[in-house]
């Protein structure tokens, strides 16, 4: 029977969410095309993870090796190449994460297997295999056909599928590591923690997020003032941190903080998926953007299509008015 | 290394700026209408180029900027030259259209494999197709190691110690043997502004143009034929939740926003 492989992603003792999200889609696909679902788990002393994952798939292929303790694309690529050559799975699913993007492209190229990255949906048809992915910062979707092959490799966008618990009772199969020689070209040294920040945006009830629409560093104090009058905290999208306009502890998104305030107001933020990942679960989202087609509007409760600079000052005075009345 | 310097190749892409632009799907239904869009160097590639120039300034050596793209991409190459690249190569051929990240990596591979280099830098991903694959595939084709999503580079004797960006603000430090391909993430440095003098000087530098035959590839290696994936249709993403739009004068809008916030008991 055809087999679908899901590569488990884990870090610092925890299985990462993307693994369970991929297993949701993997399970669905195996039901549609009548295939088996297998989790591939590489690590050092990973039996506990294997037990957890056995509830999500028919099989868990576990390979333990001290060289697999931390993620290293060179080591992973070697072990996975051997596994794929042996099992010839129809599909290998890898997370479109920092881990996955370091591994999947070179793995696919070395095995001469086609790869589609950052997929948000997958589908087999009579001919081959189709993926859905986004382009232009999420402004359009494309459906793309993958070149016919014995096996396909995909990377899956985070949060594209919802993790579910199917309560299966998979078999754990331990396999010997095929890593004989040392890994020489690439060496993991250690994790580097972000510098301790002064502000904890995850603790705030109200966040005012600014994006590239702010245009100039000198425009930031006006928004900060607004945040202050509201009793909220200033947050931002990545480009604002990249430019050095705000420290990284203010960044919302996949490479920043995940926040869930009672109110998130987005000023001049387009709503790229990596940003949305960090704020979409806020209780109330209001977005101000001059582009009516900005993706942020599909994640917001309320939207304003307007130049943010026209809204800031009336908003500031309305808030002050109200607060003034109260005291 | 300090004596002979480092030869660096930077792969850059000329992409449309779409964050603020209105996007229309063209009549083929497989691409967007490009007319009227402003093109510039891909965001992370800009950081990659800056990083290359900084390495050159510190250790000596040379920087070559390479792109696969149409003649218009010269403006991106000129920008690289003005920023401090020494040479530029544009890979252009009618057969390159429809190339995915894999085909692009093959084109780049054939164009640079004969050149001397210690380091190949490129952006972590392209803002248009978001493929996130050209750098590491190029490394595999060149049979050299790679590290993706790099936020810090320290060069030592025959090695690069780099920080890779992980999720949630975490990074990992890894060491890779040189030569290597590193894909650079935004924020690694602060790209410099180009001086008028720099631009004027850059206009005099030559951009070498190479086509399919020059780099020894065949038609089957590139374009749709040489790609892993082929776009069948392009469409506007289905909206799961559509915001309720607040309309009116700025004052009315502000009043409505305050009312909403107040109704939630937040003021
Ligand atoms: C691996 C990876 C991780 C990432 N992690 C993160 C992350 O954690 N957080 C994050 O935010 N991004 C992250 N990004 C970047 C992300 O892809 C986007 O590039 C980024 O979120 C865009 O920020 P922005 O919306 O501020 O800017 P843009 O996309 O440039 O959007 C600016 C918006 O402002 C609007 N605008 C301009 N002027 C005005 C005005 N006067 N009034 C109103 N609106 C205006 C425009 O219409 C536009 O929609 C990551 C990217 C990668 C590849």
**What is the rounded CA–CA span in Å between residue B173 and residue B178?**
16
Query: Quick check: is B242 in a domain?
Result: no
**What is the rounded CA–CA span in Å between residue A225 and residue A325?**
19
CB distance A102 to ligand 1 below 6 Å: no
The answer, yes or no, to whether the previous bond of B179 is cis (omega within 30 of 0) is: yes
How far off is chain B from A117, nearest CA to CA, in Å?
6
Q: Which tokens in the block code for residue A150?
A: 């014995």
**What is the rounded CA–CA span in Å between residue B93 and residue B228?**
19
**What is the rounded CA–CA span in Å between residue B183 and residue A164?**
34
CATH number at residue B22: 3.40.50.620
How far off is chain A from B188, nearest CA to CA, in Å?
8
Per-residue pLDDT at A12 exceeds 70 = yes
Q: Do A189 and B250 touch (CB under 8 A)?
A: no
Residue B106 CA: distances (Å) to CA of A49, A142, A318, B92? 38, 23, 58, 13
- Those residues whose C-beta lies under 8 Å from the C-beta of residue B3, and which sit 6 or more positions away, are none
Average pLDDT over residues A69-84: 96
The dihedrals phi and psi of B199, each to the nearest 5 degrees, come to -65, -40
Whose tokens are 């390495």? That residue is B55
Residue from A185, A253, A280, A309 whose CB has the most chain B CBs within 10 Å, to mutate: A185
Which stretches in chain B have pLDDT values below 50?
A: 2
> Is ipTM over 0.90?
yes
Binned at pLDDT 50, 70 and 90, residue A326 comes out as: low
CB distance A268 to ligand 1 below 6 Å: yes
Q: How far is the CA of B192 from the centre of ligand 1 (A)?
A: 21
Query: Quick check: is B233 in a domain?
Result: no
Whose tokens are 């696909």? That residue is A29
Report yes or no: B227 and B99 within 8 Å, Cβ to Cβ: yes
3-state secondary structure of A51: helix
Average pLDDT over residues A158-182: 94
Report yes or no: A229 and A320 within 8 Å, Cβ to Cβ: yes
Query: Quick check: is B107 in a domain?
Result: yes
Sheet containing A285-289, strands listed edge to edge, beginning at the edge strand earlier in sequence: A233-236, A206-210, A263-267, A285-289, A302-305, B244-245
How high is the pLDDT of residue B3?
58
Tell me which of A18, A101, A243, A253 to substitute to probe ligand 1's pocket, judged by most ligand atoms within 8 Å of the beta carbon. A253
Taking alpha carbons only, the member of A80, A74, A98 closest to residue A16 is A98
How high is the pLDDT of residue B165?
98
**What is the rounded CA–CA span in Å between residue A133 and residue A129?**
13
CB distance B167 to ligand 1 below 6 Å: no
Average pLDDT over residues A208-226: 98
Taking alpha carbons only, the member of B43, B210, B185, B39 closest to residue B110 is B210
Report yes or no: B230 and A145 within 8 Å, Cβ to Cβ: yes
How high is the pLDDT of residue A324?
80
DSSP class of residue B114 equals T
Return the domain boundaries, chain A.
Answer: 3-175, 201-326
pLDDT digits (tens, 9 = 90+) for A95-107: 999 999 999 999 9
Sheet containing A3-7, strands listed edge to edge, beginning at the edge strand earlier in sequence: A171-175, A59-64, A36-43, A3-7, A91-95, A152-156, A115-124, A129-135, A140-146, B229-235
| A148 interfacial to chain B (CB closer than 8 Å) | no
Taking alpha carbons only, the member of B11, B16, B7, B6 closest to residue B135 is B11
Pairing of strands A115-124, A91-95: unpaired
**What is the rounded CA–CA span in Å between residue B151 and residue B155?**
13
Q: What percent of chain A has pLDDT over 90?
A: 93
Report yes or no: B207 and B90 within 8 Å, Cβ to Cβ: yes
Q: Do A114 and B190 touch (CB under 8 A)?
A: no
Q: Which tokens in the block code for residue A59?
A: 């099989």
**What is the rounded CA–CA span in Å between residue B43 and residue A115?**
24
| A320 interfacial to chain B (CB closer than 8 Å) | no
DSSP class of residue A90 equals S
CB distance A251 to ligand 1 below 6 Å: yes
How high is the pLDDT of residue A327?
43
How high is the pLDDT of residue A325?
61
Query: HSE on the CB side for B126, CA within 13 Å?
Result: 23
Whose tokens are 């008015």? That residue is A321
Taking alpha carbons only, the member of B67, B66, B40 closest to residue B191 is B40
Task: Report the Cα–Cα distance between both ends of chain B, in Å, rounded.
Answer: 62
Given B139, B173, B239, which is nearest A106 (Cβ)? B139
* Predicted structure pTM score: 0.96
Report yes or no: B145 and B162 within 8 Å, Cβ to Cβ: no
State CA B13 to chain mean position distance.
5
CB distance B170 to ligand 1 below 6 Å: no
**What is the rounded CA–CA span in Å between residue A306 and residue A276?**
20
Q: Cα B107–B111–B117 angle (5° rounding)? A: 125
Query: Quick check: is B90 in a domain?
Result: yes
Q: Which domain holds residue B217?
A: 6-226
DSSP class of residue B249 equals -
Query: Quick check: is B264 in a domain?
Result: no
DSSP class of residue A193 equals P
Taking alpha carbons only, the member of A118, A244, A68 closest to residue B191 is A244
pLDDT digits (tens, 9 = 90+) for A108-155: 999 999 999 999 999 999 888 999 999 999 999 999 999 999 999 999
Q: Which tokens in the block code for residue A282?
A: 């806020």
pLDDT digits (tens, 9 = 90+) for A20-49: 999 999 999 999 999 999 999 999 999 999
**What is the rounded CA–CA span in Å between residue A202 and residue B90?**
46
Query: CATH says A3-175 is which class?
Result: alpha beta
Taking alpha carbons only, the member of B50, B257, B227 closest to residue B134 is B227
What residue's CA is closest to ligand 1, atom 48?
A: A270
Query: CATH says A201-326 is which class?
Result: alpha beta
Query: Quick check: is B250 in a domain?
Result: no
Q: How many domains, chain B?
A: 1
How high is the pLDDT of residue B201?
85
Report yes or no: B133 and B228 within 8 Å, Cβ to Cβ: no
Per 3-state DSSP, chain B is made up of helix, strand and coil in percentages (nearest 5) of 30, 30, 40
| pLDDT mean across residues, chain A | 96
**What is the rounded CA–CA span in Å between residue B267 and residue A265?**
14
Query: Quick check: is B40 in a domain?
Result: yes
């Amino acid at each position: 029977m055809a087999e679908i492989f899901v590569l488990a992603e884990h870090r610092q003792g925890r299985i990462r969410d993307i693994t369970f999200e991929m297993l949701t889609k993997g399970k669905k696909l195996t039901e549609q095309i009548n295939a088996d679902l297998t989790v591939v788990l590489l690590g050092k002393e990973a039996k506990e993870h294997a037990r957890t994952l056995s509830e999500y798939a028919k099989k868990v292929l576990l390979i333990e090796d001290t060289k697999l303790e931390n993620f290293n694309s060179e080591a992973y690529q070697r072990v996975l190449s051997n596994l794929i050559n042996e099992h010839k799975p129809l599909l290998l699913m890898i997370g479109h994460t920092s881990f996955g993007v370091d591994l999947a492209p070179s793995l696919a190229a070395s095995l001469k297997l086609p790869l589609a990255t950052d997929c948000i949906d997958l589908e087999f048809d009579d001919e081959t295999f189709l993926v859905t992915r986004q382009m232009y910062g999420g402004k359009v979707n494309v459906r793309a056909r993958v070149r016919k092959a014995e096996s396909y490799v995909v990377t899956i966008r985070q949060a594209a599928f919802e993790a579910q618990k199917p309560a299966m009772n998979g078999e754990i199969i331990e396999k010997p590591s095929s890593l004989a020689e040392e890994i020489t070209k690439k060496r993991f040294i250690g994790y580097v923690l972000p510098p301790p920040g002064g502000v904890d945006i995850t603790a705030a009830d109200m966040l005012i997020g600014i994006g590239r629409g702010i245009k100039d560093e000198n425009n930031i104090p006006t928004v900060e003032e607004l945040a202050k009058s509201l009793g909220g905290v200033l947050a931002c999208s990545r480009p604002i941190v990249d430019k050095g306009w705000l420290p990284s502890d203010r960044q919302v998104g996949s490479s920043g903080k995940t926040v869930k305030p009672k109110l998130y107001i987005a000023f001049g933020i387009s709503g790229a998926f990596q940003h949305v990942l960090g704020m979409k679960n806020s209780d109330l989202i209001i977005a101000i953007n001059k582009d009516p087609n900005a993706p942020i509007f599909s994640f917001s409760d309320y939207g304003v299509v307007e130049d943010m600079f026209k809204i800031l000052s009336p908003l500031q005075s309305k808030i002050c008015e109200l607060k003034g009345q109260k005291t | 290394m300090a004596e002979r310097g480092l030869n660096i190749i930077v792969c850059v892409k000329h992409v449309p700026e779409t964050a603020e632009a209105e996007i229309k799907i063209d009549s083929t239904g497989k691409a967007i209408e490009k007319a009227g869009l402003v093109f510039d160097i891909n965001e992370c590639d800009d950081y990659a180029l800056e990083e290359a120039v900084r390495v050159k300034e510190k250790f000596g050596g040379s920087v070559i900027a390479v792109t696969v793209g149409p003649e218009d991409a010269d403006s991106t190459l000129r920008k690289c030259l003005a920023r401090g690249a020494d040479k530029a190569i544009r890979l252009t051929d009618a057969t390159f259209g429809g190339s995915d990240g894999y085909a692009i990596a093959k084109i780049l591979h054939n164009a640079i494999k004969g050149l001397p280099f210690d380091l190949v830098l490129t952006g972590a991903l392209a803002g248009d197709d978001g493929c996130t694959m050209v750098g590491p595939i190029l490394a595999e084709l060149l049979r050299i190691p790679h590290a993706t999503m790099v936020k810090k580079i320290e060069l030592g004797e025959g090695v690069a110690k780099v920080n890779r960006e992980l999720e949630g603000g975490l990074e990992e430090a890894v060491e890779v043997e040189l030569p290597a391909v590193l894909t650079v993430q935004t924020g690694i440095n602060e790209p410099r502004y180009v001086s008028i003098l720099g631009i004027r000087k850059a206009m005099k530098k030559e951009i070498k143009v190479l086509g399919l035959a020059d780099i020894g590839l065949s038609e089957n290696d590139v374009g749709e034929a040489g790609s892993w994936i082929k776009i069948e249709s392009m469409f506007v993403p289905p909206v799961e939740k559509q915001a309720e739009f607040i309309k009116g004068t700025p004052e009315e809008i502000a009043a409505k926003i305050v009312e909403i916030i107040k109704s939630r008991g937040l003021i």
